[in-house]
Amino acid sequence: MVVKEGTDLDSIAYFGGKFVPLKDAQINIMTHAFQYGTGVFEGIRGYWNEEEKQMYIFRLREHYVRLANSCKIIRLELDKSADELCNITVELMKRNKPVCDMYIRPNVYKAGINVGPSLLNKNGSNPTGLSICTMPMGEYLDLEKGLHVSVSSWTRLEDNALPPRGKIQGSYVNTALAKTDAILSGFDDTIVLSSDGQVSEGSAMNIFIVRDGKLITTPVTSNILEGVTRSTIIDLAKSEFDVETEVRPIDRSELYICDEVFFCGTGAQVSPTTMIDHRPVGTGAIGAISKKLQELYFNVVRGRNHRYKSWCTPVFTG
């Protein structure tokens, strides 16, 4: 599918408790979140099923549960439940009438017009704002050829400094530094390590390796985002292929000797990696387990596998 990407300022967004044209959904430059990065967000995908003429939003509620958890970390006063946010998102997609794969970006943020980094909302001085917008999105990474990635010189943020398990706006400068340097050095993306030198995750996605027919992924205590796609892959590998996943720390050197590597996430989807730091992964070709999981994943998210239809929220009725 060819997706015409880009931001349509005439599309509809949810902002200030109303559905408005995206061009009218604006904040003041003194907004606290703009000044200090004091907000959280989610990345959610909607997949167009051409045969059914239906848009399926993948694991919508799970993303909003995670958004609520991110809000708790930085004291954001989210006044809507996960179910309410799901209903708003479905209505927003209906109003925009998409017929291609879409990306949904909710933001919850400190909306006060004041200077000072405090997260407290004294006397209503720093309230919480909510926005949701949508846009067409194709492939975030090249899913066909296999990626050549680096191990980054930038260290992943620590839970006791700026928790990576929350999708906190300001923390993504860490991601931007790592990914930008990788691209400038000729790589497709990068893998970041924790301060103890062990593998954390990709620049903005979780990571799996394969050794001796078993999936291995880093634990949530390795300064990673608690990935919705990560949990999906663990479930699919077990239920469909009887492949177990071992959740444990991964050493850097294991990246060089494992049989397969792939990233996963809302943006990355399932993205096989075939070379790391100029070393081939396995045979240097996309591995069998990675390929099977990738093919299965795309059938699931488009609502074509009825066993997992409950993960897919339809937008259009009738």
Q: Where in the chain is the domain with CATH 3.30.470.10?
A: 12-136
**Selected catalytic residue, list 97, 110, 122, 167:** 167
Task: Classify strands 18-21 and 39-41 as parallel, antiparallel or unpaired.
Answer: unpaired
pLDDT band at 148 (very low <50, low <70, confident <90, very high): very high
176: region left, alpha or beta (phi > 0 left; psi from -120 to 50 alpha): alpha
* Percentage of the chain modeled with pLDDT above 70: 98
pLDDT at 318: 65
The DSSP result for 218-266, as a single string, is --TTTT----HHHHHHHHHHHHHH---EEE---BHHHHHH-SEEEEEET
Q: Mean pLDDT across the stretch 173-189?
A: 98
- At 195, list the tokens: 């301060």
pLDDT of 1 over the 70 cut: no
**What's this model's pTM, rounded to 2 decimal places?**
0.95
- At 308, list the tokens: 């997992």
pLDDT of 230 over the 90 cut: yes
12-136: CATH topology is D-amino Acid Aminotransferase; Chain A, domain 1 (3.30.470)
| Active site annotation includes 122 | no
Q: How far apart (Å, rounded) are the C-alpha atoms in residues 62 and 64?
A: 5
pLDDT of 141 over the 80 cut: no
Q: How far apart (Å, rounded) are the C-alpha atoms in residues 102 and 311?
A: 16
The top-level CATH class assigned to 147-301 is alpha beta
Q: For the segment 35-83, what is each residue's pLDDT rounded down to a tens digit?
A: 999 999 999 999 999 999 999 999 999 999 999 999 999 999 999 999 9
Contact 5, 136 (CB under 8 A): yes
Q: Mean pLDDT across the stretch 140-155?
A: 90
pLDDT at 4: 59
Q: Where in the chain is the domain with CATH 3.20.10.10?
A: 147-301
